[in-house]
Amino acid sequence: MARSERRELKIREVLALRQPDLTIVIENIHDPHNVSAVLRSCDAVGVLRVELLYTSEKFPRIGRKSSSGANKWLELRKHSSVDECYAALRKEGYAVLATFLGESSRSLYDLDLTKKTALVFGNEHRGVSKEAARKADGNFQIPMLGMIQSLNVSVACAVALYESLRQRLSAGALNRPKLNEEELAVLYRSWIER
Amino acid sequence: MARSERRELKIREVLALRQPDLTIVIENIHDPHNVSAVLRSCDAVGVLRVELLYTSEKFPRIGRKSSSGANKWLELRKHSSVDECYAALRKEGYAVLATFLGESSRSLYDLDLTKKTALVFGNEHRGVSKEAARKADGNFQIPMLGMIQSLNVSVACAVALYESLRQRLSAGALNRPKLNEEELAVLYRSWIER
């Protein structure tokens, strides 16, 4: 098979596995290495579009090398406020769940991540803002059994995204494309030019 | 409760959740940020001891800040060769499973990680060495659905460790300490001095 044919096939295969019903919101994550690792995990589990909520930090410049180009294969959508971001997501039918260590936070492993979900991850030092946590449809936390009280944000994001992938694989949710034929065609024409 | 009492209690709680039947081998991972993130994930899921297999690289100096001190709460054991490392682990009853993209590699989600297991992760650029993959009891891979063919090593490690934690939580394997009373007492006396 010619190189261009392999590429076309790869793009079709990857698009057929994209999960338009799974997204993440990254709120003011400022380290480019963290953002790159997050985007790489998003590509790996089939996220189609990532929501960027940058209110107090700038979205970092991402080197092509560190992200291994994952940003090339993700749609990035910018938001200017928590309200605007959550309203857009809810209009599209997403339940918005924010990582937050609180008394009413549920365990990651008690969530049904086969449903249409947007997961919110916060800044490296401050975590998800109180506003973003409070206005979400629910909060969750990743169980931690150790002496240290936090995980690297790109690690936390990958653990949650992969739990979603595990649940979807287990439910047979990846056996057919979630994008319809028209959406697949539009994305294919865009990706093939990248 | 006084601060020293809270610390004693915290150490007892964490030791009661340590998983002596789960370990990882890190083979020539050279970036200190990656090593730090890996150690932080180990602490979070209850790994007791980490196996260091450094044959072509030096084990990096880890700043206290970047690891948030996770290395302080892990036993680190050095090995000089794949043979010596795997022999030591097998003598203790571990099945050794290496991350490797091969035809006979099983999916992470098909592994029983409630069993006594050592997971092998390799260098950022070269992955697990062919020798370490070939001599392992089995190889596994983390499913990837995207355009990019690899994950950040600290991300891969966290996804695998958390899958183990998920299985153990689900099996009720964390309801009582896995270390016996004497081991707990010895570790407690060591940790309280750290």
Residue of A nearest to B149 (CA): A44
Closest CA to B41 of B68, B13, B77: B68
State how far the Cα of A39 lies from the Cα of A73, in Å rounded to an integer.
Answer: 9
B41: pLDDT strictly greater than 70: yes
Contact B152, A37 (CB under 8 A): yes
State how far the Cα of A139 lies from the Cα of A132, in Å rounded to an integer.
Answer: 10
Indicate the SS3 state at residue B79. Answer: strand
In the numeric block, which tokens belong to residue A181?
């034929």
Single pTM value for the model: 0.96
* pLDDT value, residue B63: 65
B152-181 residues touching A, CB cutoff 8 A: 152, 154-155, 158-159, 162-163, 165-166, 169-170, 174
B56: pLDDT strictly greater than 70: yes
Average pLDDT over residues A28-42: 94
Indicate the SS3 state at residue A71. Answer: helix
Question: What whole-number percentage of chain B has pLDDT above 70?
Answer: 97
Contact B22, B47 (CB under 8 A): yes
Q: Which residues of chain B lie closer than 8 angstroms to A166, CB-CB?
A: 109, 163
A63: pLDDT strictly greater than 70: no
Q: Does residue A73 sit at the B interface (CB-CB below 8 Å)?
A: yes
* pLDDT value, residue A64: 57
For helices A32-45 and A153-170, give the axis angle rounded to 10 degrees: 0
Average pLDDT over residues A53-80: 84
Residue A57: which pLDDT band, with cuts at 50, 70 and 90?
confident
CA A68, chain centre distance (Å): 17
Q: Where does chain B have alpha helices with state H?
A: 3-17, 32-45, 82-91, 130-135, 153-170, 181-191
Q: Which of A41, A109, A174 sits opposite B169 (nearest CB)?
A: A109
Q: Which of B109, B147, B152 sits opposite A154 (nearest CB)?
A: B152
Q: Across the strands, what pairs with A53?
A: A27, A79
* pLDDT value, residue A68: 63
* pLDDT value, residue B61: 82
* pLDDT value, residue A106: 97
Contact A51, A23 (CB under 8 A): yes
Question: What whole-number percentage of chain B has pLDDT above 90?
Answer: 86
Contact B94, B116 (CB under 8 A): yes
Closest CA to B171 of B39, B54, B19: B19
In the numeric block, which tokens belong to residue A13?
């295969």
Residues with Cβ within 8 Å of residue A66, at least 6 apart in sequence: A32, A33, A36
* pLDDT value, residue A45: 98
Lowest mean pLDDT among A33-37, B75-79, B95-99: A33-37
* pLDDT value, residue A128: 97
pLDDT, tens only, A121-137: 999 999 999 999 999 99
Average pLDDT over residues B67-80: 88
Closest CA to A124 of A42, A60, A180: A60
What number of C-beta contacts closer than 8 Å exist between A and B? 123
Residue A69: which pLDDT band, with cuts at 50, 70 and 90?
confident
Neighbours of B24 (CB within 10 A): 24
Q: What is the ipTM of this complex?
A: 0.95
Q: Does residue B45 sit at the A interface (CB-CB below 8 Å)?
A: yes
Q: b/e for A3-12, b at 16 or more Cβ within 10 A?
A: eeeeeeeebe
Average pLDDT over residues A34-60: 94
Average pLDDT over residues B79-107: 96
Average pLDDT over residues A18-45: 95
Contact A53, A79 (CB under 8 A): yes
* pLDDT value, residue B103: 87
